[in-house]
Homo-oligomer: A and B are copies of this chain.
């Protein structure tokens, strides 16, 4: 971890650089996958699953028997933990539901927004080294609360042709039974275009590697929406003199273990913390099973010392971290100045792990600086706010002349006429 001491603003862009992803190479691989799935449907899905996941599937859809079997292979303590997490996520996301309020903007002119669930959504759960059943909760629960009527889930099978039991259990207890064994760009294509087995959806959610992300961005040129682009996961920790160095190190490592392309940054006003951190990180690193991964991502990582808390926050906002921990006795000094971040963890007892699993907030968050423009997944992601207006005869009389004036000035006479015919 390289240390920077009160860097000048001109140096910030370089220091805050993320690993660069080259879209074009990925596109040339993903493009043909999309086209093939669009043209050949299930046949292409089975072919790609053999090629990429090394398994020949007879059925793409997870069967009822497989769900039952999965339930038998999740231990009861984990089941309780998953149920506890589900409940917290449910409570927090339920509170996000929009209450419709009718607004009378002019006398006789009533306007409102009505939240209506997106009918058909597709959720993508990556495979890879670990079974991400927590991501199942983060996508399925808000989709259910929103009221989406058709929710499907795609995730790549293991080499045994099966899905990890905890993934199926997390889906099942939250009411999802249409799970398909398909991963990568081909899963995105299947949900975007539909195949014989997999229905076309209106919006695709979920994290994934650069192929999945490229596929999502490419299909979003058509009529499918996506939650957000995804990049490697990242964490910034703000620590002042009051921070507990061992907690800070543990938090940074929890992010660093995600993948070799993860990035962790420490912003600190304390020389003591900056000086002591590398040693503490190394001390804890030794005991981690994923230490080889963490070690690589720590090489992309930085310690930034800043005298002024205000300047420190400017730099944090320029980075726009996906996760931001504030390790301070007085977190509000920093928290109030946050402009760009995905999810914020306040105080000494709020590790990122809490938000990853259990606090109730969503862990599907904007990476790669996207927090400057995107929110993390929340109830809004699964609904549309359809606007309604209802105008009385008196109402149109009140606003009609001004509409006609504006329509005429925009040279849209039929617009004007649609009012005139009602007034005169």
Answer whether residue A370 sits at the interface, using C-beta atoms and an 8 A cutoff. yes
Cβ of A369 to closest chain B Cβ, rounded Å: 5
Is there contact, CB below 8 Å, between B387 and A362?
yes
Is there contact, CB below 8 Å, between A359 and B111?
yes
Is there contact, CB below 8 Å, between B378 and A113?
yes
Is there contact, CB below 8 Å, between A395 and B349?
yes
Most chain B Cβ neighbours within 10 Å, of A82, A85, A250, A378: A250
> Which of B109, B133, B369, B406 contacts A359, CB < 8 Å?
B109
Contact with B along A101-124 (1 / 0, CB 8 A): 101011001010100101100000
Within 8 A of B (CB), among A184-220: 202-203, 217, 220
Most chain B Cβ neighbours within 10 Å, of A246, A391, A393: A391
Copies of this chain present: 2
Is there contact, CB below 8 Å, between B202 and A372?
yes
Cβ of A292 to closest chain B Cβ, rounded Å: 12
Contact with B along A340-365 (1 / 0, CB 8 A): 11111111111111111111111000
Identify whether the interface residues of A are mostly helix, strand, loop, or mixed: mixed
Is there contact, CB below 8 Å, between B339 and A134?
no
User: What chain B residues lie within 8 Å of A416 (beta carbons)?
Assistant: 353
Residue in B closest to A349 when the chains form the complex, CB atoms: B396
A370 to B80, CA, bound (A): 40
A307 to B391, CA, bound (A): 27
Cβ of A365 to closest chain B Cβ, rounded Å: 8
Is there contact, CB below 8 Å, between B387 and A344?
yes
Contact with B along A12-41 (1 / 0, CB 8 A): 000000000001000000000000000000
A131 to B408, CA, bound (A): 11
Is there contact, CB below 8 Å, between A351 and B418?
yes
Answer whether residue A302 sits at the interface, using C-beta atoms and an 8 A cutoff. no
Is there contact, CB below 8 Å, between B347 and A391?
yes
Q: Give residues in A with beta carbon < 8 Å to B.
A: 23, 77-78, 80-82, 84-85, 88, 91-92, 95-96, 101, 103, 105-106, 109, 111, 113, 116, 118-119, 129-134, 166, 202-203, 217, 220-221, 223-225, 229, 246-247, 250-251, 253-254, 256-258, 284, 287-290, 294, 331, 335, 338-362, 366, 368-376, 378, 380, 383-393, 395-396, 399, 401-403, 405-407, 409-419, 421-422
